[in-house]
Chains A and B, each alone.
Chain A
């Protein structure tokens, strides 16, 4: 299987798609204001005419490339290209100001690749067994699993828990619009035939993450435009020995990133800061952090890149996205007929192993392309919004239309864009809404199936050891949240 999967990768279309994805990801990630979620959502229509493997690898290449790319503007401009690179800027920019910008970029690059490789190993090792285990899940176990995922998103997704709950409920409610999956009756369709099939994921995603970003930029006006001058790049002699000395930070950060990535809804910003703080607390010279310390770059970069593999584990094995980006990737998998979940590996094993192997091998082209890109990066990261955002609006319209060749979907995308913009302005988190939207319909279906089978008895949710275990995890999550709340209250 592994060899056959590898042979699948030796195809021109696969190679071109992978390399294009990585290059595009690095470029997009390095431009402040753009991120992997928006880039992947906009590129999905391009994959319509492609075979599943190159299509998915194009999108995963963008994902990996963009997470690393975010560190480039963080180091050169002190403006993180993606939120997860904010921790990298703390030491990356001071190091660049010292005249060691190239060293900072290389540290970020190699730490990113290390994090990627570690998380890929976990992905390869855990995804298939987890999917195999999930084959035993019935509706009640699935209900408990999704309840656990939603609980984690609300309790540990960062920011206000009440805001996350509100957004999850909004997402869940949007997910029930359309035909009822069991009785077949219309729900909140207001007589529209187009709304009967519910809201398509891609137009909603494009609206929430692409159009709302453009609207937010337009709303902020010209004053918000980043006009900083990037730090100049000077040649640097790289030392693998110095990098090796940071192996403990690299390993811890990669493990933190992978583990947090597996938990739904937390994203890559939290593990980057957690790893940064851990590296500082373990360092013999914590006072150097914030002034251009190498470990202050290596730790967050390894962590935020390790999230990529970790977040794909529940996404592919259980159909539960780890963060907003993997929610978009989940949508792309479904469009290509590869429905994530327990049956994915049974029905599409070859494709899955080809994708895993490619993710592992992505490190080589990413390093080569990033080293080439560094030389022109000072120009790319300063592209003006007037040149950048109109193409995004055009792509958003084309992308929303292309899903079903329907102008209704373009309308949905526009409404989602306005809603996303209003929620952004209110400082409400968008990922819980998205994950609520994705899990809303399957959660309802499995809850209702469970209760129908049990004749309405709630005991069905605790009848099997798996359900009991998952219910225990839900309760544990609440206890942990309370403990964390109590500890932070004591600190104040």
Chain B
């Protein structure tokens, strides 16, 4: 007997994102005085704080309104732990590769990114995709440095 279709969750991506955005917008509003200095002598309405404050205040209102309107609605699933781990794997690959590039090894950094990302995306054996990604990364590096003169090293 097959499993019944799971009930759509109440706490899903939309609600979690809305709460996160609401929190960030409120923190933003709280930080406005410390993050935006207004010079008293030149101050005239509207000043440097006016529009950022308006954006954040409207964002808070819009998010609260949406929370009310979607109060009884079900949400999209947050996804499995495995799916999240794959996403984290991609970001970690980028962070590691970037770290190597910042130290001064551009080619090695790009190659590392390609080698780490390809297996995450592979459904079967990862050797061929990894070799293909590595080749592409080294070609892209050569093109960037030699032809486009981008100082990636």
Contact = CB atoms under 8 A, between A and B. Distances in A.
B120 A218 contact: yes
Contact of A186 (B13, B36, B95, B149): B36
Given A45-B150, A166-B63, A389-B117, A448 B46 contact: yes
Interface in B56-79: 56, 58-59, 62-63, 65-66, 69, 76, 79
A49 B13 CA distance: 42
Interface in B8-40: 13-14, 16-18, 20-21, 28, 31, 35-39
Contact of A166 (B13, B21, B35): B21
A393 B79 contact: no
Contacts of A214: 90
Interface in A366-408: 384-387, 389-391, 393-395, 397-398, 401-402, 405, 407
Most buried by B among A185, A394, A411: A394
A444 interface: yes
A176 B47 CA distance: 13
B4 interface: no
A196 interface: no
B98 A162 contact: no
Given A402-B144, A422-B17, A397 B132 contact: no
Contacts of A173: 28, 52, 55-56, 59
Contacts of B90: 214-215, 218, 393
Interface in A436-480: 440, 444, 447-448, 451-452, 456
Contacts of B37: 185-186
B122 A183 contact: no
Most buried by B among A48, A180, A225, A452: A180
A219 interface: yes
Nearest to B78: A425
Interface in B106-141: 110, 113-114, 117-118, 120-123, 126, 129, 132-133, 136-137, 140-141
Nearest to A393: B117
A227 B90 CA distance: 23
A169 B59 contact: yes
A163 interface: yes
6 contacts: A176-B55, A219-B83, A393-B113, A422-B17, A426-B18, A448-B51
Interface of B: 13-14, 16-18, 20-21, 28, 31, 35-39, 42, 44-48, 50-52, 55-56, 58-59, 62-63, 65-66, 69, 76, 79, 82-84, 86-87, 89-91, 94-95, 97-98, 101-102, 110, 113-114, 117-118, 120-123, 126, 129, 132-133, 136-137, 140-141, 144, 147-152
